[in-house]
Structure 1
Amino acid sequence: MPLTDVEVRSARPRDKAYRLADGAGMYLEVSQTGGKYWRLKYRFGGKEKRLALGVYPEVSAKEARERRAQARKLLANGIDPGIERKVQKAATLERAANSFEAVAREWFARQAPGWAASHADKIMGRLENDVFPWLGGRAIAEIKAPEVLAVLRRVEARGALDTAHRVHQNCGQVFRYAVATGRAERDISSDLRGALPPARHTHFASVTDPSEVAGLLRALDGFQGTFVVQCALRLAPLLFVRPGELRTAEWAQLDLDKAQWRYTVSKTKTEHLVPLATQVVAILRELHALTGQRRYVFPGRDPKKTMSEAAINAALRRMGFDTKTEITGHGFRAMARTILHEQLRFPSEVIEHQLAHKVPDALGTAYNRTKFIADRTAMMQAWADYLDSLKAGERAASPATARVA
């Protein structure tokens, strides 16, 4: 007779493990410690075998009997249920190893060492927030284009069209890695080209009118926050490097006697040299008295770390500037690029090299940190002098005074 719920529930441990038969080869094994295990005894190929059906109470008697029925159906078809379970378990493990998330994290681990930390964080953030919850557990070879499109539509629906395009790009990179490593037949994300409307790329907010620049510079000098942030604000327009590069500047990279700053560009991983105008050196020498014994030029509240990534923009907002429509930390680059070319008449190639952009020349050289160094040194000093003249309320310097020899 099948066991009743009362019999199963009231079975108590004894000095030795014992069994309570349920019929058709199934029984409840009660251990010395009180554990209750459903088992199925069967014969296959002339040998007696046992199959675990679950643990009570997680698996009820009814569920255990259903599993017994499934096992007996396999036996009737000449299949050993024990072997079948091992095969299914192996397949499950293989699917987990070849899931979209597993492949994506493997791809990321190989690529991330060559990326800036901020870039790597953004990519993994997109994958974890916008892709893994829906596709992470799926075997990558089984994912279809409409499933990826559904992921992209969710991102698009919240108004983040540019992010949707970036998610599409990252998915394609993962699929291509899966193809290269034998986990997928093709990159199905390529079928979605044109499925999203074009993204409207917006430039960082910037000020390029000399009269407006004058007011901005005077506001920066009057910032009432910490001395470290004040120095960073005063240096940002003078150096016009990427905000992350300014924020993570190290004293070991600076040679104030030679008036040079050498560092590795975060975006291109190339070495870069920034000539320092006399005004820049003066600010840095003043700051050195406060932070010169530390690693970073602009330390944060924790002296072992840099100041916050949001510090510059937060300071601009405190001074009343709209960082979406007026100026951002990155906007100083556009300001310098525009005015140096249009007002001071410096050649574009000199400006682009100082911006650490890849500018192929006639010989195919993408970037050389010392190229145009004499011109760039003169340009950086002329730029600092020009900004001083704007702050003082003078007219823009004559283009003739800023001519490159």
Structure 2
Amino acid sequence: MKYRFADKEKLLSFGRYPDVSLADARLRRAEAKVALGQGRDPGAREVAEPVTTFEAAAREWHANRCASLDPGHASRLMTRLERDAFPALGARDLRSITSADVLGMVRSVEARGALDVSRRLKQHVSQIFRFSIPQGWADNDPAACLSGLLKPKPRTKHMARVGLQELPQLVRAIDGYDGDETPRRRAVTRAALLFTLLTWARTNETRLARWDEFEGLDGAEPLWRVPAERMKMEREHLVPLAPDVVKLLGEVRAYSTGGYVFGGDKLGQPISQNTMIYGCYRMGYRGRQTVHGFRGLASTWANEAECYRSDWIEMALAHADRDDVRSAYNSALYLTPRRRMLGEWAAYISALTLQGKNVSAHM
């Protein structure tokens, strides 16, 4: 609708058809003409009520970020705020919140042992205040000075793993896996262990893998696209697949049922959380080798090779930095060298398997 207001020609849009029907558009045109008759500009936006409370500011900040976030990550972020931050700070005026108030909220989360969550909440609160200050809702960031007061995380306890010199025996044990299970379950356990070793994946990334996450298995650049909700860093992870992995997936197809690659005993369910670790126990590695420890073996091999850059290795392990844009860019940027690195790792594992079979044949 073209109209003039204050001696200027303007254009007013009522929405896109068919989202807005012709009848609705005519009604809005009539309302616009009434506004003009009353001396008001129908295209002028009404001034919103100023934001004053922490919860209102937090929801505005979240809505502003939502478009750039994975839906699962956005939902988890809001859940953290609703569970811990809003009960303590939500109804408070932004200008009345002090550093001690924020620290009190963080301490209550630390008290239940959720140190990772407490750090993220402190970061979220700081981001909300930095979002609010330029808009005139707040004067300062009370969370800015709290970093040194947060409870330190305990030292990382590395998952048990054998030394790299024992990798050949481990690979042969996996290849010849013969646990006291049904034939199908033995095949699934062996394949899941080998797949995890070859892809550097975490346990849940493997056990919950679905066939629709794999792309180009018949092409030159096959890929496993692990969704963000299953990743520790809450970002999509791209895994270039070596020919040996594609071949393994082809073998698994023969007995896989349903959407999960590594299906459990119940139709439509994945293997259990303990399937692979119990497989390690049955091979005689209780207390010596965990499934998560496969990643440490792969990392040690890659770092000792001295021909792979550390950022390729970290990206392959999904140890990406927390900068969403930079991480997504690097994930695509490093796909080619990571494909080569994982391909050479798979070839090395295959050679160890073949070597073991040759030794057995001559015994």
Counterpart of 1:231 in structure 2: which amino acid? A
Map of 1:332 onto structure 2:
294
Give the whole-Å Cα distance in 2 for the aligned partners of 1:151 and 1:382: 51
Are 2:289 and 1:341 aligned? Answer: no
Residue in structure 1 matching 2:337, options 344, 352, 372: 372
State the Cα RMSD in Å: 4.3
Give 5+ residue unaligned stretches, structure 2: 1-47, 322-328
Tell which has more relative contact order, 1 or 2 (C-alpha 8 A, sep 6+). Answer: 2
SS of match in other structure, 1:190: coil
More helix per residue: 1 or 2? 2
Q: Residues 167, 328 of structure 1: CA spacing in aligned structure 2 closer, same or farther, 3 A cutoff?
A: farther
Q: Residues 378, 164 of structure 1: CA spacing in aligned structure 2 closer, same or farther, 3 A cutoff?
A: closer
TM-score (norm 2): 0.60
More strand per residue: 1 or 2? 1
Map of 1:286 onto structure 2:
251
Give the whole-Å Cα distance in 1 for the aligned partners of 2:91 and 2:239: 46
Q: Residues 146, 358 of structure 1: CA spacing in aligned structure 2 closer, same or farther, 3 A cutoff?
A: closer
SS of match in other structure, 1:372: helix
Counterpart of 1:376 in structure 2: which amino acid? M
Q: Residues 251, 149 of structure 1: CA spacing in aligned structure 2 closer, same or farther, 3 A cutoff?
A: closer
Map of 1:156 onto structure 2:
110
Q: Is the 8 A contact 2:55 2:90 kept in 1?
A: yes
Q: Is the 8 A contact 1:213 1:390 kept in 2?
A: no
SS of match in other structure, 1:198: coil
Counterpart of 1:137 in structure 2: which amino acid? A
Give the whole-Å Cα distance in 2 for the aligned partners of 1:136 and 1:229: 48
Q: Is the 8 A contact 1:250 1:296 kept in 2?
A: yes
Q: Is the 8 A contact 1:152 1:164 kept in 2?
A: yes
Q: Is the 8 A contact 1:259 1:275 kept in 2?
A: no
Give the whole-Å Cα distance in 2 for the aligned partners of 1:270 and 1:338: 24
Are 2:198 and 1:238 aligned? Answer: yes
Displacement of 1:172: 1.3
Displacement of 1:283: 2.2
Map of 2:241 onto structure 1:
275
Q: Residues 176, 348 of structure 1: CA spacing in aligned structure 2 closer, same or farther, 3 A cutoff?
A: same
Map 1:296-315 → 2, pairs under 5 A: 297-298=261-262, 303=268, 307=270, 311-312=272-273, 315=276
TM-score (norm 1): 0.55
Give the whole-Å Cα distance in 2 for the aligned partners of 1:322 and 1:129: 39
Are 2:209 and 1:255 aligned? Answer: no
Q: Is the 8 A contact 1:250 1:297 kept in 2?
A: yes
Give 5+ residue unaligned stretches, structure 1: 1-92, 360-364, 395-405
Give the whole-Å Cα distance in 1 for the aligned partners of 2:101 and 2:306: 53
